[in-house]
Amino acid sequence: MIIKTAEFLKSSQRWQDCPEGNLPEYAFIGRSNVGKSSLINAMMNRKDLAKTSQTPGKTQLINHFLVNEEWYLTDLPGYGYAKVSKVQRKEFEKLITNYILNRKNLVNLFILVDSRHEPQKIDLEFMEWCGESAIPFTIVLTKTDKLKPGAAQRNLQAYQTKLLEYWEDLPQMILTSAEKKTGCAQILDIISETNAM
């Protein structure tokens, strides 16, 4: 897919305030600092469409972008801040789960995990919840340029092994690097293949 246009539309505090759900939508989520903004910018061929390194603990917003006037790209707030209170965490979980469960035009969720780390409990739990909730998702391993060849693949296999403890079918997995633009075309291919609405 060639990116002709990508424009920021709106930040929303609740799923009810999101733009009209009249186009197919693809959402990106992951722990804070996973490289989500960098990957979105790399895919869109833009330097600062998604804002990088937002301050943890700030108001958590759902950001919508319109791409090629055909589909929505959604930048969901990062989860897993160590420094937020229990109440804040619950509020945040509610925001995310309500968005995912209620956003009817959501076609696929891209769950970003850092390729340098072994499978983390918080990510596995979130994936399990998506599976139980019948939400289609793709696992995106980020920052693979920071690893020696083979190491990212090993962590990818570690995810597969963990997920096979619960499921028979594995979600699609993509190795990416925003730095080198690896995997961006593959993500855009998935979006092209599924965005006929």
Which positions touch ligand GDP (CB under 6 A)? 30, 32-38, 52-53, 78, 142-143, 145-146, 177-179
The smaller minimum CB distance to ligand GDP, of residues 177 and 195, is found at: 177
Strand partners, 30: 112
- In the complex, minimum distance from the CB of residue 47 to ligand GDP, in angstroms, rounded to a whole number: 12
- Concatenated DSSP letters of 139-175: EEEE-GGGS-TTHHHHHHHHHHHHHTTT-SSPPPEEE
- In the complex, minimum distance from the CB of residue 51 to ligand GDP, in angstroms, rounded to a whole number: 8
Under DSSP, the state recorded for 50 is: S
The smaller minimum CB distance to ligand GDP, of residues 35 and 171, is found at: 35
The smaller minimum CB distance to ligand GDP, of residues 46 and 161, is found at: 46
User: Rounded to an integer, what distance in angstroms lies between the CA atom of residue 96 and that of residue 150?
Assistant: 33
User: Rounded to an integer, what distance in angstroms lies between the CA atom of residue 178 and that of residue 99?
Assistant: 26
- In the complex, minimum distance from the CB of residue 178 to ligand GDP, in angstroms, rounded to a whole number: 4
* Residue 100 and residue 106 in contact, taking contact as beta carbons nearer than 8 Å: yes
- In the complex, minimum distance from the CB of residue 17 to ligand GDP, in angstroms, rounded to a whole number: 22
The smaller minimum CB distance to ligand GDP, of residues 46 and 193, is found at: 46
Which phi and psi (to 5°) does residue 121 adopt? Answer: -55, -45
